[in-house]
Amino acid sequence: AELERTFIAIKPDGVQRGLISEIINRFERKGYKLVAIKLVIPTKEFAEKHYDDLRGRPFFNGLCDFLSSGPVVAMVWEGQGVIKYGRKLIGATSPHNSEPGTIRGDLAISVGRNIIHGSDGPETAKAEISLWFKPDDLINYTANAEKWLYE
């Protein structure tokens, strides 16, 4: 198995709504491996860094206020194809368009309260992982199930 990794965050609405275990469960049962996790309240400045590419959009300020409004579960998940398929598990940005069966499709209604973040490509995954975690926070281990998940 390869070492592809993505950054996934449960936003303050997902935490406050009691959806932490529900969301983790979906990544875990798929077969992905958790390699880092922490609960953190990001500062507004940190949120602005995280969403830097959206600077200038009309919703940017509200988005950063929201992300810094409470605890966020920040995670790194590892597995074959986890960046792209993680986005699939999450569903479309607006829950109006997210298919049933996806996290946002099943669990959210508004685009500004869509409960979860996931990196959208290899470059952003790399950048977001290093923004949120120190290298030492990423745990290298072999999951016992790997030999049953990968040929």
Unique residue bearing structure tokens 């009691």: 18
| Residues 116 and 9: beta-carbon distance below 8 Å | yes
| Beta pairing class for 116-118 and 33-40 | unpaired
Structure tokens at 39: 């609960």
Q: Verify binding: residue 59, ligand DAT, rule CB under 6 A.
A: yes
> Which one of residues 26, 33, 50, 117 is an interface residue with ligand DAT (CB under 6 A)?
117
For residue 1, the minimal CB distance to Mg ion (Å) is 26
Q: 117 catalytic, yes or no?
A: yes
> Closest CB to Mg ion among 106 and 120?
120
Q: Verify binding: residue 63, ligand DAT, rule CB under 6 A.
A: yes
CA distance 135 to 132: 10
> Closest CB to ligand DAT among 36 and 83?
83
Residues that bind Mg ion (CB under 5 A): 120
